[in-house]
């Protein structure tokens, strides 16, 4: 038999053990199984695999109430496949843990049709009844400031060639206007055609054969403008002589201008 003096300490030990066991069970039942950043990485991994259904599963119930699975898949698929996004990756920059949610600030990178694109973004996660973090989804998850009505597309804009200057600021190569000298076949004189082509050949320093080859191209019609050679816009002497030839037409066009021509050719060539 247990003496009365031993009963009290034994009861206290049992109570402490039960409390500890209860705390352990409570902790196990209420523990968070994943971190918010793990869920975000899972979301991006699914995006790389084009598994839009798996992405949708990671949304909060409130987010799912605002966009159906069908619309979610269609929107994401159209945007990411439209810009040919690949190799998406994220780098977590900041974690703001709050009582009811966690906000992640991250940097996303992706390879697109227009090259590698990097931008900063934020994502908010809340815990559901199963103590799992779920993403509060809005179109801004795709791209900052994106609304439900917005669309994303890739456009490639060619850069303007830069000016080349010497150390004193003198222009060696620039973007300017040149004169494109050409012929309109239907305007050529029937009676003096051969003599006119020979004259044009001499003024432009091109062969008659090369002129005739351009005039005989399959796309050329009677009213077509067939470009023969580019000359400097300020070459007034040649311009006056050229305009005396029937069928010659001179138009202005954007061109790369080399003020010193062959004098600086070794400096302004291709690199």
Write out pLDDT tens, residues 248-258: 999 998 888 88
Amino acid 269: pLDDT: 61
* Secondary structure (3-state) at 69: helix
Model confidence band, residue 174 (pLDDT cutoffs 50, 70, 90) = confident
Question: Which sign, positive or negative, has the C-alpha torsion 258, 262, 263, 267?
Answer: positive
> What is the rounded average pLDDT of the residues 232-259?
89
- Whether residue 23 is predicted with pLDDT greater than 50 in this model: the reply is no
- Whether residue 234 is predicted with pLDDT greater than 90 in this model: the reply is no
- Whether residue 185 is predicted with pLDDT greater than 50 in this model: the reply is yes
| Helix-then-strand count for the chain, H and E | 8, 8
Q: Note whether 127 and 137 are within 8 A (CB).
A: no
- Whether residue 210 is predicted with pLDDT greater than 70 in this model: the reply is yes
* Class of residue 123 by CB neighbours under 10 A (exposed 0-12, middle 13-18, buried 19+): buried
- Whether residue 196 is predicted with pLDDT greater than 50 in this model: the reply is yes
Tokens matching residue 252: 């202005």
Report how far residue 129's alpha carbon sits from residue 14's, in angstroms, rounded to the nearest whole number.
32
* φ, ψ at 265 (rounded to 5°): -60, -35
Write out pLDDT tens, residues 111-167: 998 889 999 999 999 999 888 999 999 999 999 988 878 877 777 777 888 888 888
Report how far residue 220's alpha carbon sits from residue 185's, in angstroms, rounded to the nearest whole number.
8
Exposure of 37 in the CB half-sphere (CA atoms within 13 A): 13
Tokens matching residue 238: 């040649």
* Secondary structure (3-state) at 75: helix
């Amino acid at each position: 038999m247990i003496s009365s003096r031993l009963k009290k300490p034994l009861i206290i030990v049992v109570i402490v053990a039960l409390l500890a066991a209860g705390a352990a069970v409570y902790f196990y039942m209420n523990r968070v199984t994943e971190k918010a950043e793990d869920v975000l990485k899972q979301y991006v991994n699914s995006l790389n695999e084009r598994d839009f259904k798996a992405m949708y599963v990671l949304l909060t119930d409130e987010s799912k109430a605002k966009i159906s699975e069908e619309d979610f898949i269609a929107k994401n698929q159209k945007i990411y496949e439209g810009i040919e996004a690949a190799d998406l990756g994220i780098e977590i920059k900041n974690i703001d843990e709050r009582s009811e949610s966690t906000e992640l600030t991250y940097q996303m990178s992706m390879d697109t049709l227009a090259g590698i694109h990097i931008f900063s973004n934020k994502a908010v996660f809340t815990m559901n009844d199963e103590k799992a973090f779920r993403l509060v989804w809005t179109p801004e998850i795709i791209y900052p400031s994106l609304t439900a009505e917005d669309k994303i597309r890739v456009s490639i804009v060619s850069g303007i060639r830069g000016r080349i200057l010497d150390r004193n600021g003198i222009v060696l190569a620039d973007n300017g206007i040149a004169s494109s000298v050409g012929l309109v076949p239907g305007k050529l004189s029937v009676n003096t055609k051969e003599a006119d082509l020979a004259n044009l050949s001499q003024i432009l320093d091109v062969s008659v054969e090369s002129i005739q080859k351009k005039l005989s191209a399959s796309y050329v019609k009677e009213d077509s403008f067939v470009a023969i050679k580019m000359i400097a816009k300020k070459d007034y002497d040649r311009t006056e002589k050229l305009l005396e030839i029937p069928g010659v037409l001179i138009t202005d066009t954007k061109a790369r201008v080399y003020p010193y021509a062959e004098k600086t050719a070794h400096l302004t060539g291709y690199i």
